[in-house]
Structure 1
Amino acid sequence: MVTTRDRTLLEGVRQEVRGLREVLDSAEDLWSARIGEVDEQHADNAVNLVHRWALRQYDLGGLWARLATLGLSSLGRREAPVRAGLEAIERAAGALAGNPAARDAFAYAGFVPGPDPVRYNASALLGPEPYGRAVRIMVTLPSEAATDPAVVRALAARGMDLARIDCAHDDPGAWARMAENVRRANPACRIVMDLAGPDPRTGPLAGGPRVVKVRPHRDAAGHVIAPAECTLTADESPVPPAIPVPGDWLARRRAGEVIELRDGRDARRELVITAAGAGKALVSLEKTAYLTTGTILRVPGEVPVPVGSLPAVEQFLRLRRDDLLLLTRDRVPAPVPPRGTARIGCTVPEVLAHVRAGDTVRLDAGRISGVVEDAGVGRIAVRITATGSGGGTLRAGNDIHLPDTPIPVRAPTATDLEHLAFAQEHADLVALSFVHGPEDVDELHAALERLMDRRLGVLVQIGTAQACERLAGILLAAMRRPVTGVLVDSGGLAVECGDERLAEAQEEILWLAGAAQLPMIWARQALGPAPPRAECVLLDEGPHVVEALDTLDGILRRMADRRGRKNALLRRLRSWQAGQPGP
């Protein structure tokens, strides 16, 4: 029997839900231009995305609790049609209250089981689900994949479903060879060209001394347990610790000979040849030696010869808390000072003109953090606020993150647009890195239209704070292409948003992408806790990538029958509230 108190509660729920339905109408009006631009196959999902965005502007925890008390829907399913869910709740509440009209109209429209649109979209974008697991694996190809087909065959044999070519490294010739090796290893494996985007990094540092340090192996007490070894070679550009020497002199060397020298510290040393032949000689020594360009090598009875040109030792800046670092617009190799203020250039100098005093700067994947003390002409002064224990090391090519700064340089860059023609010929998908707003996605689509391309799938990478703030607009822009998806760079988000907000940002991306029925690729930390919903995970290159791929494949297969979506308490979404919540 329905009591008066129950009817009051039910009527309150009906009125609250009716108000939320009006919010949906207003949201459709707000986003009407973007909704009208999406591909027809995404039309309903675009509207549902906007509805979910509108609903999540409010804290629905109280309503959730009342619905749970009444045994009605909690609204907590990410992919459920929002409007149909609200209408069903309103009708159910009316029916429970004894309203004849509501009881007659009660239906579960919008909840009829059918094909999973996310799985359909994922198959179109990423290829069919692999046998035995629903989640695909994308692997970033190392540079060796261009010259060693066996590397690609090993990855394909262990479960690589998509091969990612990072356009921030190597060159088009190497990319073409990588793509060819992938096609030969597994024609079904899809190829992703990841455009570099506007990726600010530290500029070059002045080269260090041209020296190779060779030292014996010692135990914990400092005793020599094995002599030092290095190779003398006729190659003029060897990889250290190989030492270049004149070829005709090297051809006369024999095992057992002793080579005398004075190293870079003027210390006497002896190299004993243990093996020789084929343009190389293996030598050993009992004491540490510093061999420099021009070090004179002597063999009794022969004319002394110099060591050839050695590469300069890679330099780095040692930074500690409270140090001052100057980030400059020039790209001249910066000197490494023994002490005092350090400086280093920025590879995208335009961004520095928009940095303000008080902005946060994070370097080297967030290992070094600082705050801008002064934003002057041509440079910014950063006071270091956090490093690892013992200080941080900043090298050339380390990433620069400016989470508080509006980035003026858009993605795709001019270089990215040049690479699109290559992607059109060799790839199945193109990924756009460092997306900051829907305008970036619009520019990529315009470039693809100029190429008259409707074949390439498109991935938009979410890895910046600004992308989180404008996520709804970015996703709607992405849905202009029939085959599209989202790549979540959790590593970049951790640096941009901070570890304390990473989980919140990721959850909110899951909500909106799920409402849009877009497939998701989870990048970084692939072997960590599994994301609540991902159709693909990205495994980065590394020295043990084959073993990691084997492990990940096994994990995903064992978890295949446990994968599902969880409900949430529907607190207000916040990641994009600090920026532009509208189109």
Structure 2
Amino acid sequence: MTLPTEAATDDGMLDRLVAAGADCVRINTAHDGPEVWAAMIARTRAAAEAAGRRVPVSMDLAGPKIRIEAVARAEGLRLKIGERFALAADAGAAPDLPVAILSHAELFAHMPVGQPVWINDGKLRARVVERPGEGCAVLTVTGARAKGEKLKPEKGVNLPGADLAIPALTDDDRAVLDFVAAHADIVSFSFVQTVEDVQSLLAELHARCPSGALPAVMLKIETPLAVRNLPQMIVAAGGQVPVAVMIARGDLAVEIGFERLSEMQEEILWLCEAAQVPVVWATQVLDGLLRDGQASRAETTDAAMGQRAECVMLNKGEYLVEAVAFLRSVLGRMDRHQDKKFAHLGPLKSWRLP
């Protein structure tokens, strides 16, 4: 599960999480800093030792954050279906429209007329209808709630179906790798898409661990290009370090289409089963329970389906300890029915012959 900031200072949080059934902790390097990370790791190690168990630490590299950096002429405005706005490199590129400034100018090379663009995990969906300049695209909203959606800074931007040739390892990632390489058991590699991305990370790890063992690498699969290159990336990483795969269903669903997500989960699970590579089932697992203290029926079934992977990831939330215990109970009950992709066909206990 993902550790919240307070895990660095709360004396009993890690003990409660480990007692509830947590087997691995995740630290997102996009938040907090080395002092907080070190405290989280120290408390994790202490809780694991007290419980007599090994609890590995996974640290996420943030990767390229394709986001809205700023907005102009959009304050308080809700965009509805059929309305127009612009994505641009600067606010003056479309003076008569609401404008969102993109974090990566190279995205404009992948925005021909007709290209779909999803913002904020698809809450605002649009299509490019005009290209008035190299650093500007005019879009029409094709999907939003009836009351409309706001353009806000820091919201993610996706171009479904486009192969974005953006290196996965950023300067910010390299800056935190000194700490990560020295402390993490697993390096979780966000937005990895190519063998070259994998080789770049491994080279950076070798430079920081010249005489010691490298941490394991987890490939977070978030784009169609990553899906296509997954077999080659597994070979490239697995030849040097232990490797795992995370089905990062948030961005992946936006990129390939929600209706294809279940199919793609199955294909990734089967590929990794054949390659004997462990899989992490991730994104929005038991989100309602984490946030509100009560899981929905669909969330409970989704959590049970995670039995087909080696690991199920929970995000942080107010009810994290309760969510870990609930997930442990659900997966424990599924143990007698399912082992990864294979059904046990065990005896049914709900009915008895007279």
Structure 1 residues 17-73: Cα deviation after superposition (integer angstroms, max 9, x where no partner): xxxxxxxxxxxxxxxxxxxxxxxxxxxxxxxxxxxxxxxxxxxxxxxxxxxxxxxxx
Q: Structure 2: how far apart are the matches of 1:171 and 1:317?
A: 35
Q: Which residue of 2 aligns with 1:539?
A: 314
Secondary structure at the counterpart of residue 153 of structure 2 = coil
CA displacement at 1:202 relative to structure 2? 1.4
Secondary structure at the counterpart of residue 372 of structure 1 = strand
- Residue 454 of structure 1, aligned match among 203, 207, 213: 213
Secondary structure at the counterpart of residue 179 of structure 2 = helix
Q: Structure 1: how far apart are the matches of 2:323 and 2:265?
A: 23
Q: Which residue of 2 aligns with 1:484?
A: 243
Does the CA-based 8 Å contact 2:159-2:255 persist in structure 1?
yes
Q: Structure 2: how far apart are the matches of 1:417 and 1:357?
A: 36
Task: From the superposition, tell whether residues 478 and 408 of structure 1 become closer, same or farther in structure 2 (CA, over 3 Å).
Answer: same
Does the CA-based 8 Å contact 1:438-1:474 persist in structure 2?
yes
Percent of pairs with identical residues: 37
Does the CA-based 8 Å contact 2:163-2:224 persist in structure 1?
no
Q: Which residue of 2 aligns with 1:192?
A: 58
Task: Summarize the alignment of residues 197-212 of structure 1 with structure 2, pairs less than 5 Å apart.
Answer: 197-205=63-71
Does the CA-based 8 Å contact 1:356-1:405 persist in structure 2?
no
Q: Which residue of 1 aligns with 2:103?
A: 347
Q: Structure 2: how far apart are the matches of 1:428 and 1:496?
A: 29
What letter matches 1:560 in structure 2? D
Q: Which runs of 5+ in 1 are unaligned?
A: 1-138, 209-314, 569-583
Q: Structure 1: how far apart are the matches of 2:71 and 2:146?
A: 23
Structure 1 residues 111-167: Cα deviation after superposition (integer angstroms, max 9, x where no partner): xxxxxxxxxxxxxxxxxxxxxxxxxxxx01112223334333332232221111111
Q: Structure 1: how far apart are the matches of 2:55 and 2:185?
A: 9
Indicate the structure (1 or 2) with the bigger Cα radius of gyration: 1
1:173 maps to 2:35 = yes
CA displacement at 1:411 relative to structure 2? 0.8
CA displacement at 1:177 relative to structure 2? 2.3
Task: From the superposition, tell whether residues 317 and 174 of structure 1 become closer, same or farther in structure 2 (CA, over 3 Å).
Answer: farther
Following TM superposition, where does structure 1 have runs of at least 4 consecutive aligned residues deviating by more than 6 angstroms? none
Q: Which residue of 2 aligns with 1:410?
A: 167
Task: From the superposition, tell whether residues 555 and 171 of structure 1 become closer, same or farther in structure 2 (CA, over 3 Å).
Answer: same
Does the CA-based 8 Å contact 2:2-2:26 persist in structure 1?
yes
Secondary structure at the counterpart of residue 380 of structure 1 = strand
Secondary structure at the counterpart of residue 521 of structure 1 = strand
Q: Structure 2: how far apart are the matches of 1:173 and 1:353?
A: 40
Q: Which residue of 1 aligns with 2:19?
A: 157
Q: Structure 1: how far apart are the matches of 2:188 and 2:311?
A: 14
What letter matches 1:198 in structure 2? P
CA displacement at 1:509 relative to structure 2? 0.9
- Residue 262 of structure 2, aligned match among 503, 517, 520: 503
Task: Summarize the alignment of residues 183-582 of structure 1 with structure 2, pairs less than 5 Å apart.
Answer: 183-187=45-49, 188-205=54-71, 317-330=77-90, 341-375=97-131, 376-451=133-208, 452=210, 454-527=213-286, 528=299, 529=302, 530-531=305-306, 533-566=308-341
* Count of residue correspondences: 319
What letter matches 1:404 in structure 2? G
Q: Structure 2: how far apart are the matches of 1:388 and 1:549?
A: 33
Q: Structure 1: how far apart are the matches of 2:257 and 2:101?
A: 24
Secondary structure at the counterpart of residue 345 of structure 1 = strand
Task: Summarize the alignment of residues 25-104 of structure 1 with structure 2, pairs less than 5 Å apart.
Answer: none
Does the CA-based 8 Å contact 2:118-2:124 persist in structure 1?
yes
Q: Which moved more, 1:489-498 or 1:470-479?
A: 470-479
Q: Structure 2: how far apart are the matches of 1:160 and 1:316?
A: 42
Does the CA-based 8 Å contact 1:316-1:396 persist in structure 2?
no
TM-score, normalised with respect to structure 1:
0.51
Q: Structure 1: how far apart are the matches of 2:340 and 2:45?
A: 35
Q: Structure 2: how far apart are the matches of 1:415 and 1:369?
A: 29
Q: Which residue of 2 aligns with 1:282?
A: none
Task: From the superposition, tell whether residues 394 and 541 of structure 1 become closer, same or farther in structure 2 (CA, over 3 Å).
Answer: farther
Q: Structure 1: how far apart are the matches of 2:127 and 2:322?
A: 40
Higher relative contact order (CA 8 A, sep 6+): 1
Q: Which residue of 1 aligns with 2:3?
A: 141
What letter matches 1:382 in structure 2? L
Does the CA-based 8 Å contact 1:319-1:393 persist in structure 2?
yes
Aligned-residue Cα RMSD (Å) equals: 2.6
Structure 1 residues 308-358: Cα deviation after superposition (integer angstroms, max 9, x where no partner): xxxxxxx6652211122222224x8xxxx9xx7311222233323333222
Q: Structure 1: how far apart are the matches of 2:101 and 2:43?
A: 37
Q: Structure 1: how far apart are the matches of 2:274 and 2:138?
A: 43
What letter matches 1:379 in structure 2? C
Q: Structure 1: how far apart are the matches of 2:73 and 2:57?
A: 37
TM-score, normalised with respect to structure 2:
0.82
